[in-house]
Amino acid sequence: MPRITVGTENGAPIEIHYEDHGSGQPVVLIHGYPLNGNSWERQERELLAAGYRCVSYDRRGFGRSSQPTVGYDYDTFAADLSALLEHLDLRDVVLCGFSMGTGEVTRYLGRYGSARVSKAALFGVIPPFLLKTEDNPEGVDGQVFEDIKAAIVTDRYAFFKGFLDNFNNVDVLAPDRISDQAWQASFNVAVGSSPYASFAVVDTWLTDFRADLPKIDVPTLVMHGTADRILPFEATAARLSDLIADVTVVPVEGGPHNIGWTHPDEVNGALLGFLAGATAALTSAA
């Protein structure tokens, strides 16, 4: 399995597993919580068929990457991404992030700039700043995240059941858009993640990206479900038009958090159009 070393813990290497397939302009796919790089399968298939090179990787603590107890913050996550781009010497890159992965894209561009990057695509976004504060009244009350951490500590497996139900809006969209088998596959991946990481990353969801967003100087596509129960549309995607210079926000009407799986035709069509330069034609996906 292809891996790169991005650090150490107690003398043992911290390794990031990645997959690198196809040729052409590279598209780097950064997964959401609590999944792994394979969660992009419905996008990767179409991207490869359209002639793009697809690079996906598993965030530290998840999938086939190492499961350390250090480095669960967006500065480190962005450094891991940077190490991968440099290792593969990727240029003219399209960075595609889903959920937590949108934080990597945002922090990477805010910290490292766009010398290697030509475009960004963000799905089910976590920026600009999820926590409700005096200067961020649109955010979510902090007790919500304390309750999430408490639920993980009490019974991580039961937590994942409820989380993935809301991740996919199964009460509305199953079985037509999310089968029992697809749900179970996601659950299997989730419970295989590091127990430490699955708890530790909750605090990273409260990262303030407002200083990073104005530094994004590449065309950016944002797609987000209007029925997202994990990251509410109004608290996240709806606010980005005022914070990113060149951004196209595409609401997916009735879409849950996991739009890449439940609404692949809408997501893939918009993504391929964006990559081909058809941004002006993108408005909404019903």
For the residues 206-230, what does the mean pLDDT come to? Answer: 98
Within a domain: residue 47? yes
Within a domain: residue 183? yes
For the residues 195-216, what does the mean pLDDT come to? Answer: 98
Q: What pLDDT is attached to residue 280?
A: 54
Q: What pLDDT is attached to residue 190?
A: 98
99: annotated active-site residue: yes
For the residues 4-14, what does the mean pLDDT come to? Answer: 98
217: annotated active-site residue: no
Q: How many CA atoms lie within 13 A of 220 on its CB side?
A: 26
228: annotated active-site residue: yes
Within a domain: residue 154? yes
133-162: per-residue pLDDT in tens? 999 999 999 999 999 999 999 999 999 999
Within a domain: residue 133? yes
**Is residue 1 over pLDDT 90?**
no
User: Which candidate in 99, 186, 193, 198 is catalytic?
Assistant: 99
87: left (phi over 0), alpha (psi -120 to 50) or beta: alpha
46-77: per-residue pLDDT in tens? 999 999 999 999 999 999 999 999 999 999 99
Look up the CATH number of the domain holding residue 37: 3.40.50.1820
Domain count, the chain: 1
Within a domain: residue 267? yes
User: Which candidate in 17, 224, 257, 263 is catalytic?
Assistant: 257
Within a domain: residue 286? no
- The model carries a pTM of 0.96
For the residues 14-18, what does the mean pLDDT come to? Answer: 98
User: Which candidate in 198, 224, 228, 263 is catalytic?
Assistant: 228
Within a domain: residue 259? yes
The residues near 98 (Cβ < 8 Å, ≥ 6 apart) are 29, 30, 31, 32, 39, 40, 123, 124, 260
Q: What pLDDT is attached to residue 278?
A: 72
Domain that holds residue 122: 3-281
75-127: per-residue pLDDT in tens? 999 999 999 999 999 999 999 999 999 999 999 999 999 999 999 999 999 99
